[in-house]
Amino acid sequence: MKNFSLTLLASFISAILAIAVYRYFEKPQEVVIRETVPARYTNYTDELMSGNQGRQFLSSSPTNFTTAAKAVTPAVVNIKASTSSDFDFWGSGYGGSSGSGVIISPEGYIITNNHVVEDSKSVEVTLNDKKKYEAKLIGIDENTDLALLKIEGDNLPHLAFGNSDSILVGEWVLAVGNPFNLESTVTAGIVSAKGRSIDILEGEYKIESFIQTDAAVNPGNSGGALVNTNGELVGINTAIITRSGRYEGYSFAIPSNLAKKIISDLKDFGMVQRGILGVGIDEVTDETAKELGLSTVEGVLISRITPKSGADDAGLLKGDVIIKINGSKTSTIPALQEQVARFRPGNKVEVEYIRSGKRKKAMVTLKNKGNTTTLIGGRDESFLRDLGFELRDLSSTEKRKLGTDGVMVVSVYRGSKIERTNMDPEFIITKINDSKVGSIEEVIETIKKSDDKVMLEGIYESYPGEYYYAFPI
């Protein structure tokens, strides 16, 4: 028993000595426990100061998008647009296209791309829960590639608009689509750039100020949602740059602030009420900046002023450099176009510009394509669009210069009756079926009174002689 006690005591003393020696020679180690990244509340005071609606939302860590994805996917739908008169190669009787769309109201209004539904005879919408609806086309805008649809529903899942001005380069976003063969798809990426123009749209009044992301977007996802990590709609996915026909690292979305205005116009008027400054514009280059004595190579150079336009009335001049609209920087042409496109004819915008090295401000009342502040009726605009052209009234200066009244053709739509006459833009219509016309209203009224054939008579300012174009009603 005595030997056992001595052995136990010796063991205890040895253990104490061992611990003491270990602590003396070995430095203490740090143990790091990885915790979840705390949520960050983000507030952009610069946006608030610029007059844009700021935000304060929960920005999740880069590894957790589940809440946003769960909230968004029920509101993103599949869209199948068909042309009943077309037949595909296999003779199935279906011709058309498919893509995605976003429900933006509980009563069933849906945003998608115009190129998804253009020339369609019918549109079928399939929700995330597999329910199918026939959709009505409310309106389209080729200048932004947007379209508004309506399905008959009640208390449908929908997305709230976010503030696309507030998103920053490097911020996480989700691209959500509903292609026909995959149901819902969710991809994540960051905002790579803002105000991108990739020259995919046509027309004098096209607006390309895309949000560029590296979130994967493939064909079939066009018209789908780009959302922030709070699940708010900040863009409508529209295009990719690709050589293979599939995603290769770049995707582009229409900013939600622009889309919101376009969709509101389509809902209220059936067409877009586009406010116009009345200027011709060019980018500011390094050479231009040096010539004008600018401290930075940014802004938009005014190269031409339309007589009696809002810009002309406000005293803007050729050679001025526009740097802000309502406090928002306009470093590039797309940025300027996007800001102006958010307003209707009759709205006033504050334009900040540089002239002779000095900063100045002017309040500009925007006008429409006809150089007035009146809102154009959607029914009449649709009538002209169906025929295949856009028109504007001549200004009093143009009438004096040309020595005639008339209406100018602004643009001609591809595949239309007007295009088949070989008419070019800038044709000035002076007579219809031998009756003089001096306004858009008179053009519409005269054509509607025609029996079976319309003969347009007019001139081109740059070419001698009179020209005639005929088409059937």
Whether residues 242 and 93 share a domain: the answer is yes
pLDDT score, position 162? 94
Q: Which of 247, 268, 289 is the last residue of a domain?
A: 268
pTM of the model: 0.68
Overall domain count for the chain: 3
Identify the CA nearest to 262 among candidates 205, 309, 318, 319.
205
Does 16 map to a domain?
no
Active site residue 145: yes
Burial 106-137 (b: 16+ CB within 10 A, else e): eebbbbbbbbbbbebeebbbbbbeeeebebeb
Does 29 map to a domain?
no
> Residue 265 in contact with residue 273, Cβ under 8 Å?
yes
Whether residues 361 and 382 share a domain: the answer is no
Whether residues 261 and 293 share a domain: the answer is no
Task: Out of 222, 251, 309, 328, pick the active-site residue.
Answer: 222
Whether residues 352 and 298 share a domain: the answer is yes
Active site residue 115: yes
- Whichever domain contains 403, its CATH number is 2.30.42.10
Task: Out of 100, 115, 192, 312, pick the active-site residue.
Answer: 115
Does 357 map to a domain?
yes
Identify the CA nearest to 173 among candidates 147, 220, 210, 146.
210
Structure token digits, residue 82 = 């068909």
pLDDT, averaged per 10 consecutive residues of the chain (473 residues), comes to: 55 59 45 27 34 48 77 94 56 66 96 89 91 91 92 92 93 91 84 89 82 88 93 92 73 94 89 90 90 87 93 95 94 93 94 92 90 70 85 80 91 91 95 91 88 94 94 90
Whether residues 233 and 309 share a domain: the answer is no
Residue 425 exposure: Cα atoms within 13 Å on the Cβ side: 9
- Whichever domain contains 184, its CATH number is 2.40.10.120
Whether residues 343 and 392 share a domain: the answer is no
Q: Which of 308, 336, 365 is the last residue of a domain?
A: 365
Angle at 280 between CA 277 and CA 284, to 5 degrees: 110
Whether residues 173 and 49 share a domain: the answer is yes
Question: What phi, psi does 156 have (nearest 5°)?
Answer: -80, 150
Whether residues 64 and 95 share a domain: the answer is yes
Whether residues 134 and 257 share a domain: the answer is yes
Whether residues 198 and 119 share a domain: the answer is yes
Q: Which of 245, 268, 291 is the last residue of a domain?
A: 268
Does 12 map to a domain?
no
Does 131 map to a domain?
yes
Does 7 map to a domain?
no
Whether residues 359 and 395 share a domain: the answer is no
> Residue 146 in contact with residue 259, Cβ under 8 Å?
yes
pLDDT score, position 192? 94
Host domain of residue 139? 36-268
Does 28 map to a domain?
no
pLDDT score, position 41? 31
**Other residues' Cβ atoms within 10 Å of the Cβ of residue 442:** 17
Distance CA 322, CA 336 (A): 8
Distance CA 67, CA 428 (A): 57
User: Residue 164 burial (CB < 10 Å; 0-12/13-18/19+)?
Assistant: buried
Whether residues 463 and 340 share a domain: the answer is no
3-state per-residue secondary structure call for the chain: CHHHHHHHHHHHHHHHHHHHHHHHHCCCCCCCCCCCCCCEEEECHHHHHCCCCCCEEEECCCCCCHHHHHHHHHHEEEEEEECCCCCCCCCCCCCEEEEEEEECCCCCEEEEEHHHHCCCCEEEEECCCCCEEEEEEEEEECCCCEEEEECCCCCCCCCCECCHHHCCCCCEEEEEECCCCCCCEEEEEEEEEEEECCCCCCCCCCCCCEEEECCCCCCCCCCCEEEECCCCEEEEEEEECCCCCCCCCCEEEEEHHHHHHHHHHHHHHCCCCCCECCEEEEECCHHHHHHHCCCCCCCEEEEEECCCCHHHHCCCCCCCEEEEECCEECCCHHHHHHHHCCCCCCCEEEEEEEECCEEEEEEEECECCCCCCCCCCHHHHHHHHHHCEEEEECCHHHHHHHCCCCEEEEEECCCCHHHHCCCCCCEEEEEECCEECCCHHHHHHHHHHCCCEEEEEEEECCEEEEEEEEEEC
Does 57 map to a domain?
yes
Provide the pairing of β-strand 251-255 with 279-283. Answer: unpaired
